[in-house]
């Protein structure tokens, strides 16, 4: 029996608890630095508790709400909560705490201006504390110094790394990650990802094998190895560190490998319309930090959701009167069962739940119930009421999504997408695209389709590229010259070049700039004509036919037999034998080297070993290692879609069904969708405004 169960290989609850403890300790310590000298021990932190006003960056508010409630913050001295905007900081308390990101220069300037404003207008001698998330930066110091407030605030940082969105999903929740990596080519998210993954290695041991695809994946793998070397040097030079406890001595006995997927490798999946329930919730309403905001009129008679965190505190915005927040996570009685289902099956699922609840309600009114029956029902009453409320909410949301999916623009858009994903020549859809432009279809929708055609064809023909640029500018305004320039810089909407592509003899197989989509589509079976949406057996159900390339790459490592059988179906009698087949431990990309060479970006395959092989083997023997590694961590660098999460959960269920207690954990820098991907490029200003 293995020493650590697969379900406990990476305990996301431990990560949540640590984030909560770290934040509360920082709040507990406020006012110590100014009154009692520097905080040096845990006891120091507990000695003084002062009332304080907390000013938090809007994008951090929902993230903090994932692991701490406003009532808990109140217990630790938070009197009022404010969002960092419009100079609305209240100066009623002596202690004012800013909780903001330290890597955004604009936000740092806002903090400096707020401190100067409060200092000049208030008669109270305030103590300011600035908590940078996730780290303090040189830029933040310089900006505070320029504004003359660097010496007026106690500065610390909250090393907030992974935030568990669900027990199987860890996210860094980096709001600007996609634009940083793809548009600005800023490597900061890679560094943040490396720090978070290093913390996991320190807790669970080295990832025995690091696999990945994409140039950014290669940079992340190299940075992890560099950080590991630095930690080894620091550990060996520390006289208080013992040999057996030094970092990285032993590869993990509970984590099999780390698979890194660079978002640049698979743009089409991010641009396509997601067809799972959770994916369409994101497409229609937008989902952020496990919450969505919808008009109260949509929910109708659905009961108001319970307040989840400090967002229900005294500074809730007035917009809450017309908007209602809906929590979308495992705390919902019904949501975990329906979120990953293809939307075509949501109606029957909700109907089945409604009939079951109706049967339960009828059983209540039976006259011949015994006391024990009544007692049993009363004990289940809270769960029944919660599930009934959840059913009303999701029925209302599903009804609104149905209106969206039945609309003519959606059907036209989906038809174009499906034709492109199936491998049709892009020029066959140009007439439909021109019709969408003529009908004044929203710009993000048109851009998604053009970018999808461009990424699948390694660019548009120069004549078509110029033609659509001209149509876009004439239809939506010439301020979008900036939009088109950004999309071209991101590689989403470009003209096809004669020397750019897989067949370019001087490009080489490593780090090439284009993907041979026709070959990859055939060899990884990216399109399936007949999809079982109600009882899915293949990941293609999340797009009703298209299998995400990113998840197929994961299957190339974990489900080799199944993937090979898709391309070359076995003879009658052997069919289904490898339906959930897994690859042999330690085989990496073996068997798929040729198709990987046809996908743009570097290929990563690194084996990590302990510094001392004999000591590593001895330690593994002491801990017990009879059943071998169990967990694979799949990390998306640049963002993951809800459709990909649903597909990976299907892969995870198949791995568990195959036996051995295997588990799949999903990590990401954030959640992305096609709308968000193109939105970072869209020019918001207009001429004459």
pLDDT of amino acid 144: 93
Res. 44: pLDDT tops 70? no
Q: Of 551, 532, 525, 527, which is closest to residue 344 (Cα–Cα)?
A: 532
Backbone angles phi, psi at 574, to 5 degrees: -105, -5
Tokens describing residue 570: 């076995």
Query: What is the band of 71 on the pLDDT scale with cuts at 50, 70, 90?
Result: confident
Res. 5: pLDDT tops 70? no
pLDDT of amino acid 238: 66
Backbone angles phi, psi at 286, to 5 degrees: 90, 125
Res. 437: pLDDT tops 60? yes
pLDDT of amino acid 571: 67
pLDDT of amino acid 619: 54
Tokens describing residue 260: 């890194």
Looking at per-residue pLDDT, the higher value among 619 and 172 belongs to 172
pLDDT of amino acid 615: 54
pLDDT of amino acid 38: 46
**Averaged over 119-140, what is the pLDDT?**
89
Looking at per-residue pLDDT, the higher value among 360 and 181 belongs to 181
Query: What is the band of 361 on the pLDDT scale with cuts at 50, 70, 90?
Result: confident
CA distances from 106 to 88, 97, 649 (A): 17, 18, 38
Query: What is the band of 224 on the pLDDT scale with cuts at 50, 70, 90?
Result: very high
Q: Of 482, 407, 419, which is closest to residue 681 (Cα–Cα)?
A: 482
Q: Of 322, 543, 505, which is closest to residue 417 (Cα–Cα)?
A: 543
pLDDT of amino acid 357: 86
Looking at per-residue pLDDT, the higher value among 543 and 242 belongs to 543
**Separation between Cα atoms, residue 385 and residue 357, nearest integer Å:** 10
Residue 636 φ/ψ region, left for φ over 0, alpha for ψ in the -120 to 50 degree band, beta for the rest: beta
Res. 25: pLDDT tops 70? yes
pLDDT of amino acid 239: 61
Q: What is the CA radius of gyration of the chain?
A: 27
- pLDDT, one tens digit per residue, over 450-489 is 999 999 999 999 999 999 999 999 999 999 999 999 999 9
- Which pTM was predicted? 0.89
Query: What is the dihedral angle through the alpha carbons of 165, 169, 175, 176, rounded to the nearest 10 degrees?
Result: 180
Percent of the chain at pLDDT > 90 equals: 56
Q: Of 466, 464, 452, which is closest to residue 419 (Cα–Cα)?
A: 452
**Separation between Cα atoms, residue 248 and residue 232, nearest integer Å:** 7
Collapsing DSSP states into helix, strand and coil, what is residue 351? helix
**DSSP characters over 118-166:** HHHH-SS--EEEEEEES---HHHHHHHHHTT-GGGEEEEE-----EEEE
pLDDT of amino acid 252: 87
The arrangement of strands across the sheet holding 209-213 comes to 163-166, 169-171, 663-668, 631-637, 255-262, 209-213, 603-607
- pLDDT, one tens digit per residue, over 305-334 is 444 433 333 344 444 448 899 999 999 989
**Averaged over 125-146, what is the pLDDT?**
91
CA distances from 604 to 207, 218, 635 (A): 14, 6, 13
pLDDT of amino acid 183: 96
Tokens describing residue 97: 């705490």
Q: Measured in whole angstroms, how far is the alpha carbon of residue 418 from the centre of its chain?
A: 25
DSSP 242: -
**Separation between Cα atoms, residue 111 and residue 89, nearest integer Å:** 10
Collapsing DSSP states into helix, strand and coil, what is residue 504? coil
Query: What is the band of 505 on the pLDDT scale with cuts at 50, 70, 90?
Result: very low
Looking at per-residue pLDDT, the higher value among 577 and 279 belongs to 279
CA distances from 653 to 528, 552, 649, 657, 665 (A): 20, 15, 6, 6, 12
Average per-residue pLDDT in the chain?
84
- pLDDT, one tens digit per residue, over 177-197 is 999 999 999 999 999 999 999
Res. 622: pLDDT tops 70? no
CA distances from 680 to 182, 272, 302, 391, 473 (A): 10, 17, 34, 35, 18
Can you tell me which residue has the tokens 């858009």? 413
Res. 578: pLDDT tops 70? no
Backbone angles phi, psi at 196, to 5 degrees: -65, -40
What is the number of H-type helices and E-type strands within the chain? 28, 14
Query: What is the band of 580 on the pLDDT scale with cuts at 50, 70, 90?
Result: low
pLDDT of amino acid 323: 87
Give the β-pairing of 291-295 and 323-327.
antiparallel
- pLDDT, one tens digit per residue, over 649-686 is 999 999 998 876 788 999 999 999 999 999 999 999 88
Query: What is the band of 359 on the pLDDT scale with cuts at 50, 70, 90?
Result: confident
**Separation between Cα atoms, residue 7 and residue 611, nearest integer Å:** 28
pLDDT of amino acid 43: 35
- pLDDT, one tens digit per residue, over 516-561 is 999 999 999 999 999 999 999 999 999 999 999 999 999 999 999 9
Query: What is the band of 611 on the pLDDT scale with cuts at 50, 70, 90?
Result: low
pLDDT of amino acid 11: 84
pLDDT of amino acid 624: 54
Query: What is the band of 500 on the pLDDT scale with cuts at 50, 70, 90?
Result: low
């Amino acid at each position: 029996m293995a020493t650590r169960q697969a379900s406990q290989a990476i305990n996301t609850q431990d990560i949540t608890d640590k984030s909560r403890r770290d934040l509360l300790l920082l709040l507990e310590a406020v006012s110590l630095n100014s009154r009692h000298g520097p905080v040096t021990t845990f006891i120091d932190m507990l000695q003084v508790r002062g009332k304080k006003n907390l000013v938090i960056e809007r994008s951090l508010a929902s993230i903090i709400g994932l692991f701490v409630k406003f009532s808990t913050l109140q217990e630790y001295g938070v009197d009022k909560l404010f969002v960092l905007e419009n100079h609305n900081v209240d100066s009623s308390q002596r202690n004012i705490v800013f909780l903001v990101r330290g890597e955004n220069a604009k936000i740092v300037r806002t903090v400096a201006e707020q401190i100067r404003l409060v200092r000049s207008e208030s008669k109270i001698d305030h103590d300011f504390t600035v908590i940078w998330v996730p780290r303090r930066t040189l830029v933040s110091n310089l900006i505070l110094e320029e504004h003359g407030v660097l010496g007026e605030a106690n500065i610390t940082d909250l090393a907030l790394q992974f935030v568990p969105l669900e027990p199987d999903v860890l996210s860094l929740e980096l709001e600007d990650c996609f634009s940083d990596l793809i548009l600005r080519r800023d490597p900061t998210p890679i560094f943040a990802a490396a720090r978070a993954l290093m913390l996991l290695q320190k807790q669970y041991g080295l990832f025995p094998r690091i696999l990945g695809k994409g140039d950014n994946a290669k940079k992340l793998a190299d940075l992890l190895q560099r950080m590991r070397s630095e930690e080894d040097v620091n550990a060996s030079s520390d006289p208080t560190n013992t040999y057996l406890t030094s970092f990285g001595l032993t590869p993990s006995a509970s984590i099999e490998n780390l698979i890194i997927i660079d978002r640049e490798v698979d743009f089409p999946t991010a641009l396509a319309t997601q067809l799972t329930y959770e994916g369409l919730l994101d497409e229609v309403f937008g989902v952020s930090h496990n919450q969505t905001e919808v008009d109260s009129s949509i929910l109708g008679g659905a009961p108001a959701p319970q307040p989840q965190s400090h967002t229900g505190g005294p500074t809730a915005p007035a917009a809450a009167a017309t908007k209602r927040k809906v929590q979308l996570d495992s705390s919902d009685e019904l949501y975990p069962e329906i979120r990953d289902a293809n939307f075509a099956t949501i109606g029957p699922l909700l109907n089945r739940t409604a009939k079951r609840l109706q049967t339960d309600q009828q059983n209540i009114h039976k006259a011949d119930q015994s006391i024990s029956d009544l007692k049993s029902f009363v004990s289940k009453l809270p769960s029944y009421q919660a599930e009934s409320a959840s059913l009303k909410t999701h029925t209302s949301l599903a009804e609104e999504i149905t209106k969206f999916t039945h609309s003519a623009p959606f059907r036209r858009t989906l038809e174009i997408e499906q034709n492109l994903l199936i491998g049709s020549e892009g020029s066959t859809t140009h007439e439909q695209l021109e019709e969408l432009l003529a009908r004044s279809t929203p710009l993000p929708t048109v851009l998604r389709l053009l970018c999808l055609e461009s990424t699948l064809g390694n660019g548009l023909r120069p004549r078509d590229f110029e033609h659509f640029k001209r149509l876009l500018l004439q239809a939506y305004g010439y301020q979008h010259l900036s939009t088109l320039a950004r999309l071209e810089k991101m590689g989403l909407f470009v003209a096809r070049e004669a020397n750019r592509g897989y067949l370019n003899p001087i490009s080489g197989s490593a780090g090439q700039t284009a993907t041979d989509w026709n070959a990859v589509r055939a060899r990884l079976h990216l399109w399936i004509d007949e999809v079982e949406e109600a009882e899915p057996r293949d990941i293609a159900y999340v797009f009703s036919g298209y299998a995400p390339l990113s998840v197929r790459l994961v299957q190339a490592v974990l489900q080799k037999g199944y993937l090979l059988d898709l391309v070359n179906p076995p003879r009658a009698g052997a069919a289904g034998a490898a339906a959930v087949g897994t690859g042999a431990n330690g085989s990496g990309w073996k068997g798929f080297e040729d198709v990987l060479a046809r996908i743009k970006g570097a290929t990563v395959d690194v084996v990590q070993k302990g510094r001392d092989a004999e000591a590593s083997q001895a330690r593994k023997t002491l801990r017990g290692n009879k059943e071998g590694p169990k967990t694979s961590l799949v990390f998306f660098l640049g963002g993951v879609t809800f459709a990909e999460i649903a597909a990976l959960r299907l892969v995870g269920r198949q791995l568990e069904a195959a036996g051995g207690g295997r588990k799949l954990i999903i990590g990401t820098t954030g959640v992305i969708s096609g709308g968000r991907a193109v939105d970072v490029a869209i020019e918001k200003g207009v001429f004459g405004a």
